[in-house]
Each structure stands twice: as C-alpha cells, then as structure tokens.
Amino acid sequence: MKTIAVIGGGASGLMAAAMSADLGAKVLLFEKNEIPGRKLSASGNGRGNVTNRRMELSCYHSEDMERLSALFPSFSSGEALSYLRRLGILFHDRNGYIYPRTDRAQDITDALLLHLKEMSGLVNIITPAEASGVCFENNRFRIDYKSAGSPDSSETAYADSVILCCGGLAAPQLGADESGCGIAESFGHHLTRRRPALTYLTVHDSFVKTAAGVRAAAEVKLVLPDGKIESCPDAVGEVQFTKNAVSGIPVFQISRRAGEILDSGRPLCISVDLLPELDRDAFERIVTSKIECGENINITEWLLGLVHPKLTALAAAECGITAENKIRKLSPELRKRVLLSLRDLRFSVSGYGGYRDAQVTAGGVKLSEITDLYESRLQKNLYITGELLDVDGICGGYNLTFAMNSGLIAAKHAAAVSDSDSK
C-alpha cells in the first residue's frame, strides 16, 4: 500500500489527505498546530467564502501568468465544492460569493476532519507536528518532524510521496511560517519575491484620522506615479478608515498592486470615490440641486445624508476649507469642487499591512517548476500545492478555491501513481 505524507493541515492539506485516503492510500498528515485547519476556519470572518460564481483567470495573480493560465481550467472547475457537497455541506450564494449554508467556515474543517477520522485505518493525523526537513533517500521520502511528545528531538517517518501544503506567510498567528519554503528550497525549488497581499494601506495624510472609525461604501483606485488612474473592477465595497490607514475589501483588492509600486520605490496615491453607485447623470443632478441650495447652513449640514459627516470634513479639507464653512460664503466653483472631491478623495500611500494583517501571500514557489498535476519537476513524487505556490487570488473565495482544488488534484495523481512507478 502506498503511503502519502501530507505536510500542512490547512485547506489544501485536508483536501489532499481526504482524497488520498479515498483512493486507498495510507496517509500521514502532519500539522504543526494542535488543531488542523485554523486558517480555513477563520476565513471570511469565520463564514468561509469558499469560492465565487465568477471564476476568471483575471481574478488570480502570479509572476508566471502563462503557467497559471495552463493550470486555471483544472483548479477552477468546482471539484472541491462538489467534494464538500458529498460530505454533506450545503452552500449558499451571496451575489456570487459562495459560503457554507451555515455561514460557518468551521463546518468545512470539521466535515473534512470527520471524514478523515472515519478512515482512521488509513489516516494518521499527527499534531502538533512540525516537519523540519524532508529528503529523498533509498527510493522513499524521509520526513523529520518535531512533535509534542518529543519537543527536543526529531522523529522520523517515511512515505512514497509527499504533498507539501504548508501555506504561505500570511497570518503567522494561525501557523504560517517559512518552513514550507525551506523544504521546497531543499529540493532545489526557487521562490518568487513574496509580499503580503489583501491587506490595508497606511497613508501619510494626517487628516485621515478625522474619519477614524467610519465605514463607508466606496470605490478605491490607484493613482500611479505618472498621474494615471488605474481601476480594479472589484475594488468596490465597504472601506474602513482608521487613524492612519484605509482598509476593507476595496483596499485589499488593490493592495497587491500597491505593494509592487511601493516596493519599487515609487510614490503612490489612492483615489476614493464615496458615491460609487451614482452614474454621471445621477451625480450631475445632485451637483445641480446642491449648488443652488443651502445658503445658511455649513458644509456638514449641506451634505447631510449624502456621506458620513466625518467624510464631508475630509472633502472640505481637500479643498482647503473646513466643514464649518457656511455655504453662502463659498463660490459656486468651490461648492462644485467640494462635491467633486467626494468622488475623488486623494490619499498618499506610505505603506501596506504586514503578514499579520494580510489574508494571503503574493509570490511563492515558481509555477514553472511544477507540472499541471502539481508534481515537482525537480523531484518525482513530491507535490506542492496551495498558498505555498506563486499564486494568489483577489478577495472573494479565490484563494480557498486554489488551495482546495490544487490539493485535490495533487492527491488524485499521487494516489493513482502505482507503488512501482513511484520507486
């Protein structure tokens, strides 16, 4: 009987372990946390946005988009979702975003763990157990790991195949660290530049603190160093302002690109449109009616019901005035400028959130070094899946889709290769 070692019990590893056992392989699942699936259980604010009805290659990033486009059809096919349905999980769709019907990501983790426990004759879940090294010797893999039973010394296990599902560097508080990268590198793999993605942006402008605590519907765009505006179709939703940063899904969506620009040492601004749902005509009607009214009131009162008063203060500050200014003292041109700045609030970006606050890692093991079945091109029977690879998706269920499906695909291949093929 073939033995498959799955290293890392996250979304990808749990899927890989379950599929390997379904196909009759003996599975050793190593997870460094006491409990597997911590990140999966925390995903989507605990609700688990597992996938999205809109599955397009443009929702993913990699340094090697050509390789990613070759992998895309198989990992986006919805197989992982079908698998979870077979385990009894029902899903519901919120505007294309797919969640478990119970809105509990934990249910997915538990269903997978339950399934693995039902196959306890085949599956050995070893926790907490951190794989410290993997090598190929005498036609099999040797896995050195540290467990709770022997924290000071290494234990050893052997397997015919290894599926490396150690995740990326995002959210170290949930178990992420460099160890998976180290194991991949020990087999000669190369990593692309890694940086946190799906994270907040810090801003230079001190006036942002006036709006700290406000959440507002908005669209966020990048203002490139040459002044060109770059929009991302998905960067619309609820933006959160803090005393020195902007956050929320629209910001997450552009954070990867922002990181690239900032890391290249170039200056960057963002433009926040606080009325993203209004088309040009609807906005023009508001401008016309507002310019003609409100003589005895101040700017905050003038824009009551349009945007949060603290955001009105930001728009006024952008025009060099305060929100206490009486409307009658403002020229029609200045009134129009205040209204226009609601659609183009500018902030200069000073940095981005680190791994602790990021949902995913941009960059990882080079895609040119794995086959379409996630097998290493450098070491036969070694597979690499999930966030450890140079693939990251935008917000919306894309990262779990990749992690779970790549785990499934690798396991199907690893378990299908006969023992004699693997030797």
Q: What residues make contact with ligand FAD under the rule CB under 6 A?
A: 7-13, 30-33, 38-40, 42-44, 48-49, 130-131, 165-167, 170-171, 175-177, 179-180, 359-360, 386-387, 397-400, 403
Task: Compare residues 189 and 221 and give the one whose CB is closer to ligand FAD.
Answer: 189
Give the list of residues 6+ apart from residue 119 with CB closer than 8 angstroms, or none. 21, 22
Q: Tell me the closest approach of the beta carbon of residue 129 to ligand FAD, in angstroms.
A: 6
Work out how close the CB of 86 gets to ligand FAD at its nearest, in angstroms, rounded to a whole number: 20
CA distance 176 to 165: 11
Nearer to ligand FAD, 170 or 345 (CB): 170
Please list the residues that pair with 143 across neighbouring strands.
134, 157
Cβ atoms 4, 151 nearer than 8 A:
no
Minimum CB separation of residue 144 from ligand FAD in Å reads 10
- Residue among 33 and 242 whose Cβ is closer to ligand FAD: 33
Indicate left, alpha or beta for 120 from its phi (over 0: left) and psi (-120 to 50: alpha): alpha
Angle between helices 11-22 and 398-416 (to 10 degrees): 30
Phi-psi map region of 316: left, alpha, beta (phi>0 left; psi -120 to 50 alpha): alpha
- State the nearest-atom distance from the C-beta of 245 to ligand FAD, in Å: 17
| Token pair of 312 as six digits | 């009105």
Closest distance of CB 276 from ligand FAD, Å: 22
Residue whose CB is nearest to ligand FAD in the complex, by number: 10
Provide the pairing of β-strand 392-393 with 155-159: unpaired
**Sole residue written with tokens 């659609």:** 343
Q: Are β-strands 360-362 and 195-197 bridged in parallel, bridged antiparallel, or unpaired?
A: antiparallel
User: Least distance from C-beta 112 to ligand FAD, angstroms?
Assistant: 11
Residue 26, H or E segment: strand 26-30
- Helix count and strand count (H, E) for the chain: 13, 22
Question: For ligand FAD, which is the closer residue by CB, 30 or 141?
Answer: 30
**Nearest CB to ligand FAD, comparing residues 179 and 271:** 179
Question: Please, which residue, 77 or 210, has the CB nearer to ligand FAD?
Answer: 77
Please, what is the minimum distance in Å from the beta carbon of residue 229 to ligand FAD?
Answer: 28
Picking from 307, 322, 304, the residue whose alpha carbon sits closest to that of residue 275 is: 307
* 43 or 271: CB nearest ligand FAD: 43
CA distance from start to end of the chain: 13
